[in-house]
Amino acid sequence: MELVDQQQQQSSPFTKIKSYINNKKPCIVGLKQSTPKYKAHWVVATGYATYNHIQPDSTYTYAKFVQVNDGWGNKGVWINYKYTDGVVYLK
Look at strands 41-54 and 27-31 and give their pairing: antiparallel
Taking the C-alpha atoms of residue 20 and residue 91, their distance in angstroms, rounded to an integer, is 10
Supply the pLDDT for residue 8. Answer: 45
pLDDT digits (tens, 9 = 90+) for 16-63: 899 999 999 889 999 999 888 888 889 999 999 998 888 788 888 888
CB 49 within 8 A of CB 83: no
Q: What is the pLDDT of residue 48?
A: 96
